[in-house]
A and B are shown apart, each in its own frame.
Chain A
Amino acid sequence: MIIDVEGLVKHYGQVKAVDGVSFGVEEGEIFGLLGPNGAGKTTLMEILCGLRRFDEGKVTIQGFDLIKNSYKVRSLIGFCPQETLLYDLLSVRENLSFSASLYSLSRKKFKERVEFSAKVLGVGEFLDRKVQQLSGGMKRRANLAASIIHDPPIVILDEPTVGFDPTIKREFWELIKNLKSDGKTVLLSTHDMYEADEICDKVAIMERGKIAALDKPRTLKETIGGEPAIHVRVKDLQAKKALAILKEYGGILRDDEIQISSKNPWETMTEVTNKLASEDVLAEKIEVVEPTLEDVFMKLSGRKLTEVEQ
């Protein structure tokens, strides 16, 4: 394990922000901490980066104890927080140079890393522009470049795509996957289930300072998320009739769709399609929906992640 966390506890006054958290991250994987705001994700990440002290537990990074070797550990991590930590009046290159100086990078290594940032993170086109002149997406890319300028084996990203539109979000996911291809271990936090599902090799679902579940996204969905469902939508006038027909399959009306859970969704879908057709009910939409991490979170906490956010 490149990151090993055992029984971590952190209090803010009377509040337990992190409550006995234990997990391990394998070298070269993308590990996601998924949970709503206030679940303790940021606190946990800041502890790993040496930004916060903790009350109980043990953290080992690449074999080094976080407390005993805090400066060594810091050099192994590239931390990219939610907010853009760049100096507006400096150019991107100057910001990168400042970050490099914090890690005592040689001039040669710095040059190499700037080239890497330009190629892999796409900062080349605006390297010499002042940060205040950049768009939000450019700033975030520059922020990530500055965070990993020292070529750390571990990259910690706190909500890396929060506030992004879908296109930029996808671009950023590619950047994160590129980091993995480059041999980095990535630990990221997110409250976007789709993001966690899309890019993470492993996900820990956090709720109220605890890890409620931890596994590969597919395994979590299969073991906790429940059975796949067939979603059927018919015209309003035929809704009652359709519901009556599909009752024998366990169909229930949710929102404006009839939902049927099934272990063999594709077979069931064929049957349902035929049945509706034989009864002259025209389906507007009929599809198989696999369980999502949202379902996993709902099963674990009894709430929807999006509801918790609101």
Chain B
Amino acid sequence: MNSIIGIAVKDIKTFFRERGTIFWTIAFPVLIMLLFTAIFGRDIPFNANIGIVDYDHDQYGISTGIVTGLNSTGFFTVKNFTDKTEALKELNTSSVRAVITIPQNFTFNLTMGIPAQTLIAVDETNPDVARLVRDGIKTFFSEYYKTLYYNQTGMNYTEPISVSEEQTVAHEPIGYKENIVPGMLTYPLLFSSMVVATGAIVFEREKGTLKKIRASPIRPINVLFGKTLAALFQTAISILIMSVLAATLLAPKLNWNIPLLVPILFLGSMNGIALGLIISCIGRAPQEASNAATTMGIVLQFFTGMYFPIEYLPTYLQQFGRIIPMTYAAQALRDIMIRNATLEDLLLPIATLTFTAVILYAVGVLLYRRWVEK
């Protein structure tokens, strides 16, 4: 019994002497709670961008009122388009999740008692978002007309504006598993790569073998690249296993375009590994670095849209999500596998992921020099 207590006491004492471990032990629950509070602790746990094309241009301000009304729900952020083709282009890249078209004579029909029809096109690449957007728009129009009629006549009117859906996206609506598989493939980019790389430097330092490396004429960038290769290998194994399991167990109807998937997975991994190496350079003890990587991974996954749509986040957190490289990797994987994206469509995510990887490696080298070689 004494030995058990002795071990426990020693470990607890060690814990209290590693400031970094204490920090991350506290930071983890704090960050998670703050994040959950920000995401779920509000009345409307959703905000999606939608586009509106107004061909009516009425004099009574009814169609303008629709835009104002949609914005005021807090459920949507509305972007106005003058050209429907432009709006559908953005729908195709998921920049907007739905496009509402208000046709000519919409107001006229409405005021003359003729059924007034609006058209909506919904981005189906994420079934959860598609359902919420569709239901949200339909409910809005129903409630909007009721309010409009009551304000003008003082009477209740129950016949709503009809909303018809149009099929504009080339692919078929997808199921939940088709949506989640690209998200699952983002997991090793964020976790496996980062966790593997996190151990790279800090464990060498702990074991003392970093001295051998540092006493040799190898340059810091080459140390980091050597570590990157090993981490890439391990990440590739994770990706391969996950892909094979996903393809066999879930059998999703997805486009497994290997020549396009490989560069995205490679660049995503490089970003994750670079982030891990940065943590590894700063970490003073393996436990501290491991805690930091786990906390960062768990926190970042909320922002990348890998598991649940980024629209569930408040708008300011959505903005934060858009500066995380992994968000672009997750989106690019969905674009390839769901939307049959071409290389041209992927130029922006490829450029973004390359740019962020270069920046992160530059920071890594700097930290290696400042923290490891000091």
Task: Say yes or no: is A266 at the interface (Cβ < 8 Å to chain B).
Answer: no
Task: Say yes or no: is B209 at the interface (Cβ < 8 Å to chain A).
Answer: yes
Please give, as numbers and ranges, the residues of chain B lying within 8 Å of A102 by CB-CB distance: 212-213, 216-218
Q: Which of A53, A71, A86, A99 touches B217 (beta carbons < 8 Å)?
A: A71
Task: Say yes or no: is B131 at the interface (Cβ < 8 Å to chain A).
Answer: no
CA distance A146 to B209 in the complex (A): 12
CA distance A144 to B374 in the complex (A): 25
Q: Name which of A53, A85, A99 has the most chain B CB atoms within 10 A of its CB.
A: A85
Report whether A71 and B215 are in contact in the complex, using a CB–CB cutoff of 8 Å: no
CB closest residue in chain A, given B214: A51
Please give, as numbers and ranges, the residues of chain A lying within 8 Å of B209 by CB-CB distance: 85-87
Report whether A49 and B217 are in contact in the complex, using a CB–CB cutoff of 8 Å: no
Report whether A85 and B217 are in contact in the complex, using a CB–CB cutoff of 8 Å: no
* Count, chain B residues at interface, CB 8 A: 14
Q: Which of B207, B215, B219, B374 touches A50 (beta carbons < 8 Å)?
A: B215
Task: Say yes or no: is B89 at the interface (Cβ < 8 Å to chain A).
Answer: no
Report whether B215 and A74 are in contact in the complex, using a CB–CB cutoff of 8 Å: yes
Please give, as numbers and ranges, the residues of chain B lying within 8 Å of A85 by CB-CB distance: 207-209, 211-212
Task: Say yes or no: is A103 at the interface (Cβ < 8 Å to chain B).
Answer: yes
For the complex formed, measure the closest distance between the CB of A141 and the CB atoms of chain B, giving whole angstroms. Answer: 16
Chain B 336-374 against A: per-residue CB contact (8 Å), 1 yes, 0 no? 000000000000000000000000000000000000011
CA distance A74 to B207 in the complex (A): 21
Which one of A76-84, A165-173, A181-189, A277-285 is at the interface? A76-84
CA distance A62 to B126 in the complex (A): 66
CB closest residue in chain A, given B374: A53
CA distance A115 to B208 in the complex (A): 27
Report whether A81 and B217 are in contact in the complex, using a CB–CB cutoff of 8 Å: no
For the complex formed, measure the closest distance between the CB of B249 and the CB atoms of chain A, giving whole angstroms. Answer: 33
Do A51 and B217 form a contact, CB below 8 Å, given A83-B208, A85-B209? no
Report whether A74 and B217 are in contact in the complex, using a CB–CB cutoff of 8 Å: yes
CB closest residue in chain B, given A88: B207
CB closest residue in chain B, given A53: B374
Contacts of B199-250 to chain A: CB distance below 8 A: 207-209, 211-219
Please give, as numbers and ranges, the residues of chain B lying within 8 Å of A53 by CB-CB distance: 373-374
CA distance A49 to B214 in the complex (A): 9
Could you jot down 17 A-B contacts, CB within 8 Å? A49-B215, A53-B373, A53-B374, A71-B217, A71-B219, A72-B217, A74-B215, A74-B217, A75-B217, A79-B212, A81-B211, A85-B209, A85-B211, A99-B212, A99-B216, A102-B218, A146-B212
* Residues of B participating in the A interface, judged by any CB pair closer than 8 Å: 207-209, 211-219, 373-374
Q: Ordered nearest first, which 8 A-B pairs have the shortest CB separation? A: A102-B216, A71-B217, A74-B217, A79-B215, A85-B212, A75-B217, A49-B215, A83-B208
- Please give 8 more A-B residue pairs, beta carbons under 8 A apart, in addition to A83-B208, A102-B212, A102-B213: A49-B215, A51-B211, A51-B215, A53-B374, A71-B217, A77-B215, A79-B212, A79-B215
